Every structure is written in structure tokens, then in C-alpha cells.
Amino acid sequence: MNRSDLARMDATAQAGLIASGQSSASELVEAAIERIEGVNPEINAVVTELFDHARAEAASSALPDGPFRGVPLLLKDLGCHVAGIPVYGGTRFLRDRAWVAPTDSVLAKRFRAAGFIFVGKTNTPELGLSPTTEPDTFGPTRNPWNPDRIVGGSSGGSAAAVAAGLTPLAHAGDGGGSIRNPAGACGLVGLKPSRGRTSLGPGKGEGWAGCVTEHVVTRSVRDAAAVLDCVAGPAPGDPYHAPPPARPFAEELGRAPGRLRIGQFIHNEFTPAHPESVQAVQATAALLGELGHHVDETYPEALDESHLGEWTSTAVSASVAHEISQMEASVGERAKEGDFEPATLAMADHGRALSAAEYVANLDELHAYGRRLRSWWAEEPGADGYDILITPTMAEPAPPIGSIKGAEIDCIIRLVPYTMPYNVSGQPAIGLPLHWSEDGLPVGIQLVSRYGEEGLLIRLASQLEAALPWHERIPPIHA
């Protein structure tokens, strides 16, 4: 197998090479290492190399015989702890102390059982707090479509690596858009599962007041579905879990979605949209109409409310304060000047100033908002209400590096207003690369379904993938 061909293959295709005997795990891993060494200096996506670890696993007779046996996977340097592997979370505090995870997370165990081999860790903004991946600790990750542009955040390193062909997919986490926004900026598929679909255990029951979930960024809808089959499901002690699917998610591929009732949200007084984002939504709406769906301009009234940013900022600030305390306890040292970025410390200070009663009151506001938002969707197929909402992933194509980091919070919120509501409501959402700007930048589209209905998203996404395939689009920086 030509190694340049591997760079264009999704994970399902690479797994097929091993299953058919055309390649070995060691060959796939060596090819991935070669691609990382060759391309990563241009984009700064991989910040921790796990090459020796990967080679040993690939050569082991104990490699699990899962559906992705031998396929190389990059892990985001935030979440998904692997015993003995460094975790820095984009911080100097943990990097300078060379901290390693003491135990495997549930997700890491499930990735390993699926047969994936971990080849490295990817760049992320400090503690995942920014929509641009430019941490002081490791510097900016550059977009393979234009190295002067951002890759989104917080799974920006993962998205850049997959877009550039370093690995066929990569682990990602999403607390406010951190799977979907980088996928949109880098021309990938980014499926955020429903709340409770994947476990954060055993270290956490929930993250950011229930907003955080983990999965992968991929090139194809089939990879997103197949990996979800491998990692979905509750673990003992999880505080909640999503309803079981009607069938394996991979079986939704190519299945007719039926005639869906679809609304669209582009902008209101709080969320100005770039003309390219407007065009992307309108073009997607027109395509869905051609495919036989009912599409109009209706959207949930809750999106016109103005306090969501305040409520989510309060919840995240409390979480950041707790995370820093946990890190200090784990290494046995207090943070000193320079260990964290000023914006991170400001959030932690805000969190420490909250009383317990204020935190609970804020949580009640978030839960109430989520109920108001979800009421727009039909509770079940065929009931009154809508099935799908279309939005952009980001308000504009990826802006220049340096234009977002350190900007006022209002500027940051204006870039990514479309994704956070569905972290609060717990609904599944998927980002798809259905549009490119005039200067060649991807402009992502988001589809949102009712809670627990990843299957419907996968059916519709695979229909769109067949109607408007994106797989032949390769960025200028590519392995």
C-alpha cells in the first residue's frame, strides 16, 4: 500500500487493510509516524509524541481484535487519560512538572478495546477554554487550509492533524462547540454525542455542569458512527446516560431518514453572521429541500434569549477553579506566577467568588434554558415540532491567528454563538464540511437533532455526504 494513499483513507478503510491482510498494525503505525514527522512542523498539531509506545503496541500479540485493530489514533491533550501517558491540558503547570495520568479513563479503555493505537497527543488551548488553539504552552496550531488561520478550539490540534492526513481520526472533546467548531474550521465531520452517551468516568461524572462530552473528529460520517458504537454506553456510577439506540449507529448509514421537518438559524441581534456562513446555511437548506425535506426559517425562541453566555460562563468559571485545585493536589504544589494564562486565572477567580447557593441557582437557570430550547423539537418522530435545526458552526470562516486569543469575551462569543446551546440542552449535533469560502476555507454546517437521536443525525448526514461528497477536497498542507 502506497503511504500517500493511506493519508487519504478514513479509519474504516485502514481497518479494512488489516482485516484483509493487505497491511499490518506496525505498517500503519510507522506510516502515521512518518506523516507526523513530515507535516507536523508546519502545523504544530501534535505536541506529545508516543511513538515508542505505539510501536510496542502495534507489535504486541495482545493487541485487541476490535473493529479498528491497528489503526493509529491521536488523543487530545485534555480528557481521555491513559495510565502512564502525559496529560498537560495545554498548561505550563502540568507540562513543567511532566505529570502523567495514574489510571485509564473509561474512554481510553474503550478506544483500546476497539483496537486503536495511540501515537501522540494533540494541541489544545489551556483547559479547553478558547475557540482558538493558541496556548502559551505550545504555541498556535495552524490550519492546513491556510497556515495563517486558526483551527478553532478546543480540539483544534486534533482537527488540524486529521485534516492534514496525519491520522484518519482523532479524539476530541466538546464543552461548548469544541468538536464542531474545529471540524468546521478544518473541513471535517464532528459529531457531538448526546449528554451521557459517552462516559467521563471514572474521574468525573460530568464536566462543566453537564455540558462536556467526548468523541472524535473524522473525515467520514461512517467513521463517526462506527467509533460511537465502540465507545457509547454508561459506566458504573455515571450520573446519567442517554437512551439506548434503536440499532447500531453504523447501521444508520444509508438508511432513509424520511421526510424531515427542518428549521434554520443564521442570525439575530446577538449573533451576526458572515455572508459566507449565511450562504452555507442557505445552500444546505436548498439541498435538503431538493432531497425532499420540508425546510423553513423557523428556529427555537430560546435562541433569542440574551443570558446564556452569562450562565455558561459562571458554570465554566466554577469548574476551572475546581480543576486548578485538583491539579495542585495531584502534583503536590501550588501554582506560581506564569503557570497559567491570565484569562484562565481570571475565570478561576470568578469561580472561587461564587457561593454554593449562587452556583446551584445558576445551574437551575441552565437546566430551565435547556428545557425551553428542547421544546422546539418533536419529542418523537411524527409528533408536532421539528426534527432538525441547521446553523453554521462558526459565525465566519476561520479568522487569522492572533485575532481571537486575548480578545475581549464579547469578540470570542460572537465567533462561536451557534454551538453552546446544545451542550446546555444535552442534544446531539454534527458538524459537516458542506461549504467552502471564495478563498478556499471550509465553512462548517451544524445539524441538531432531539435528545438521544444520533441515529437520525447519522442518517441525514450520510444522505448529505452522498449528495455533496467532500472527500476529494484536500488542503494545501497534507501528508
What's residue 372's pLDDT?
A: 98
Q: Which of 188, 48, 99, 127 is nearest to 318 (CA)?
A: 127
What architecture does CATH give domain 3-467?
Alpha-Beta Complex (3.90)
Backbone φ and ψ for 50, nearest 5 degrees, come out as -120, 40
Enumerate the β-bridge partners of residue 214.
Answer: 173
Q: What is the mean pLDDT of residues 210-227?
A: 98
According to DSSP H, which parts of 417-453 are helical? 420-425
Cell of 284: 444546505
Q: Tell me the C-alpha to C-alpha distance, in Å, between residue 45 and each of 160, 166, 340.
A: 6, 9, 21
Cα–Cα distance, 422 to 451 (Å, whole number): 9
Catalytic residues: 76, 154, 178
What's residue 1's pLDDT?
A: 61
Cα–Cα distance, 331 to 319 (Å, whole number): 19
Is residue 86 within 8 A of residue 48, CB to CB? The reply is yes
Among 65-79, 227-241, 369-383, the least confident range? 369-383
Q: Which of 89, 88, 189 is nearest to 129 (CA)?
A: 89
What's residue 97's pLDDT?
A: 96
pLDDT band at 408 (very low <50, low <70, confident <90, very high): low
Enumerate the β-bridge partners of residue 445.
Answer: 392, 432
Please check the confidence at residue 411 and state whether its pLDDT lies above 90.
no
Cα–Cα distance, 39 to 25 (Å, whole number): 21
Cell of 89: 491540558
pLDDT tens, position by position, 316-361: 999 999 999 999 999 999 999 999 999 999 999 999 999 999 999 9
pLDDT tens, position by position, 272-316: 899 999 999 999 999 999 999 999 999 999 999 999 999 999 999
What's residue 174's pLDDT?
A: 98
The edge-to-edge listing of strands for the beta sheet with 117-122 is 46-49, 117-122, 72-76, 169-174, 213-218, 189-192, 429-436, 442-448, 388-392, 261-264, 294-295
Tally the residues of the chain: 479
Backbone φ and ψ for 263, nearest 5 degrees, come out as -110, 175
Mean pLDDT rounded to a whole number for the chain? 96
Q: What is the mean pLDDT of residues 201-209?
A: 96
Give 408's contacts (C-beta < 8 A, 6+ positions apart): none
Judged by DSSP in three states, 461 sits in helix
What's residue 380's pLDDT?
A: 82
pLDDT band at 398 (very low <50, low <70, confident <90, very high): very high
pLDDT above 70 covers a percentage of the chain that reads 99
Q: Which of 272, 290, 200 is nearest to 237 (CA)?
A: 200
CA atoms lying within 13 Å on the CB side of residue 278: 7
Cα–Cα distance, 306 to 283 (Å, whole number): 28
Cell of 218: 473524522
Chain-centroid distance, C-alpha 300:
23
Please check the confidence at residue 3 and state whether its pLDDT lies above 90.
no
Q: What is the mean pLDDT of residues 105-117?
A: 98
Please check the confidence at residue 390 and state whether its pLDDT lies above 80.
yes
Cα–Cα distance, 105 to 62 (Å, whole number): 20
Judged by DSSP in three states, 250 sits in helix
Q: What is the largest CA-CA distance in the chain?
A: 61
Q: What is the mean pLDDT of residues 255-263?
A: 97
What's residue 5's pLDDT?
A: 87
pLDDT band at 383 (very low <50, low <70, confident <90, very high): confident
pLDDT band at 409 (very low <50, low <70, confident <90, very high): low
Please check the confidence at residue 270 and state whether its pLDDT lies above 90.
no
Chain-centroid distance, C-alpha 457:
16
pLDDT band at 415 (very low <50, low <70, confident <90, very high): confident
Enumerate the β-bridge partners of residue 429.
Answer: 192, 448
pLDDT band at 235 (very low <50, low <70, confident <90, very high): very high
Backbone φ and ψ for 412, nearest 5 degrees, come out as -65, -45
What's residue 121's pLDDT?
A: 98
pLDDT tens, position by position, 138-156: 999 999 999 999 999 999 9
The residue type of 130 is: S
What's residue 76's pLDDT?
A: 98
Q: Which of 9, 44, 48 is nearest to 28 (CA)?
A: 9
Q: Tell me the C-alpha to C-alpha distance, in Å, between residue 442 and each of 61, 127, 450.
A: 41, 26, 26
Backbone φ and ψ for 223, nearest 5 degrees, come out as -65, -45
pLDDT band at 381 (very low <50, low <70, confident <90, very high): confident
pLDDT above 90 covers a percentage of the chain that reads 94
- Exposure string for 391-429, b = 16+ CB within 10 A, e = fewer: bbbbbbbbbebeebbebeeeebbbbbbbbbbbbbbbbbb
pLDDT tens, position by position, 38-87: 999 999 999 999 999 999 999 999 999 999 999 999 999 999 999 999 99
Cell of 80: 481521555
Q: Domain boundaries in the chain? A: 3-467
